[in-house]
Amino acid sequence: MQAFQHAVIGLVDHFGYVGLFIAMMLGNIGAPIGTEIVLPAAGALTARGHLPSVVLTIIVAVLGELAGGTLGYAIGRFGGRPFVEKYGKYVRFHHAYLDKIDAFFDRHGSVAIFVFRFVPVLRGVAAIPAGISRMHLAAFYLWTALGSALFCGGLVWVGFAFGEHLDALMPLIHRYAKLAVVLCVAIALLWGGIALARNRRAARAGL
């Protein structure tokens, strides 16, 4: 897996923003890209001058995630559960995942898309059940873009800050990526819970 992730980083290094866009898009339709590894590396490459702008690096990463999310949404909307149950195994998306995500959607609504942006594996396939449930596109893109901006922006900035020490940074990223993602999940859940509580209070007040 690490060899594959290094190959993806090489793709970004060689092809620049086109490579980054492709990597992020594939990572959001279930490919085992390891975006929590690729993003800090992209930030470090930006610090070294291989990519010209940290802001543009974040924008391209987010656009890649939105493109992948769009494909996932279309797969769910037009292929439905039968398509997912037949082919989902090829992108690490099993029937059990679909049931769990559906249950989470039922409890938390569209804010679930935001939360899933910070959950490994699920962040790459959450757009599919959103398509199956025919989530409103405006809500889908809003929560996906917001979650992706925070996720991509944070990890790119980490890589950018330590860009001159990329070789030393990569083992640390591999070692602590899961811990960083867990922290992001905790923050996302807290933020999502607050937003959901506010929405419910606003709904009750409007009655």
Token look-up 């543009």 returns 56
Can you read off the two tokens belonging to residue 205? 């007040």
pLDDT given at position 58? 93
Decide: 72 and 141 in contact? Cβ < 8 Å: no
pTM assigned to the model = 0.75
The gap from C-alpha 101 to its chain's centroid, in whole angstroms, comes to 15
What residues make up the domain containing 30? 2-206
Q: pLDDT tens across 19-65, in order?
A: 899 989 988 887 777 777 788 888 888 888 888 899 999 999 999 99
Please state the domain count of the chain: 1
What backbone torsions phi and psi does residue 100 show, to the nearest 5 degrees? Answer: -65, -45
Can you read off the two tokens belonging to residue 185? 């999940």
Q: Cα–Cα distances in Å, from 88 out to 85, 98, 116, 123, 194?
A: 6, 10, 18, 14, 33
